Structure formats: C-alpha cells, structure tokens
C-alpha cells in the first residue's frame, strides 16, 4: 500500500472515530502528532542504548495507536520489532533494520497526521 493510500485510510478511520467533527479530528490529529514525535525520539534513544525490553514495550504502545488508525503497516512493523527484541538471533531481519523501517513508518505517520490536521483547517 502506498503512503497516499495509508493516509487516506487513516483519515477515513479518524473521521469515523470523531463523527466527522472537524474540531475533534484536529484535536485527535494533534494528539497523534505529539505522541508520535515522542515515540520517534524514544525509538531512537532506546535503540542506541540497545534496551530491548523498553523497545518491545514501546512497540506494543505504538501498535495500539496504529490499530486505532487502521495502519496495518505500522502495526505489522511493531509486531516484527517486538519479536526481534524477544529473539534477535532467530529473526529474519536485524534489529537495526527493523528499527530503521519503523523509524521511516513513524515519520510517514507523523506527516500524515499533520496533513490531516491541515486538511481539516482548510475546509
């Protein structure tokens, strides 16, 4: 699925969750932006420290938000990271590769939420 299609799905899901109320959409989008920025910083810090237990916990938390917005890619990457943290020797991808993919997905998620907030303002 392309970033544009993922954005469309997120927007549709958030619109449904908020009953299409522009103020609620904007509030929720900004809450996701703030949480996402924190998650991205924590992901980078915990990876640099090789704190696998904390990375696994963070992945679980991010996965909840991903599922709330219908973001299957982000949810899947969180599952992969969680498994990689539990058993790094028997995983198809290295922890570095998984974290890099999740980092990119979180950046995309943040841009999508910012775009969503901007689109509501411009209506």
End-to-end Cα separation, the chain, in angstroms? 26
pLDDT over 80 (residue 58): yes
Q: How confident is residue 49, by pLDDT bands cut at 50, 70 and 90? A: very high
* Domain hosting residue 39, numbered range: 3-121
pLDDT over 80 (residue 121): no
Residue of 38, 50, 33 whose CA lies nearest to 95: 50
Q: How confident is residue 87, by pLDDT bands cut at 50, 70 and 90? A: confident
Which domain CATH number covers 24? 1.20.120
Tell me which of 68 and 44 has the higher pLDDT: 44
What average pLDDT does the structure give for the chain? 92
pLDDT of residue 94: 86
Q: How confident is residue 89, by pLDDT bands cut at 50, 70 and 90? A: confident
pLDDT of residue 70: 87
How many domains does one find in the chain? 1
For the whole model, what pTM was predicted?
A: 0.91
pLDDT of residue 92: 63
Tell me which of 95 and 46 has the higher pLDDT: 46
Helix axes 22-49, 3-17, angle to 10 degrees: 130
pLDDT of residue 91: 59
Residues 6+ apart with CB under 8 A from 14: 25, 28, 29, 69, 116
């Amino acid at each position: 699925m392309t970033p544009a299609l993922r954005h469309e799905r997120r927007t549709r899901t958030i619109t449904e969750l908020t009953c299409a109320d522009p103020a609620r959409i904007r509030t929720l989008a900004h809450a996701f932006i703030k949480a996402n920025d924190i998650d991205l910083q924590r992901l980078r810090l915990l990876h640099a420290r090789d704190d696998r237990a904390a990375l696994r916990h963070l992945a679980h938390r991010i996965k909840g938000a991903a599922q709330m917005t219908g973001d299957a890619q982000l949810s899947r990457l969180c599952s992969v990271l969680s498994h990689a943290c539990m058993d790094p020797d028997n995983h198809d991808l290295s922890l570095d590769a998984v974290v890099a993919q999740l980092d990119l997905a979180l950046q995309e998620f943040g841009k999508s939420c910012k775009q969503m907030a901007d689109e509501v303002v411009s209506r």
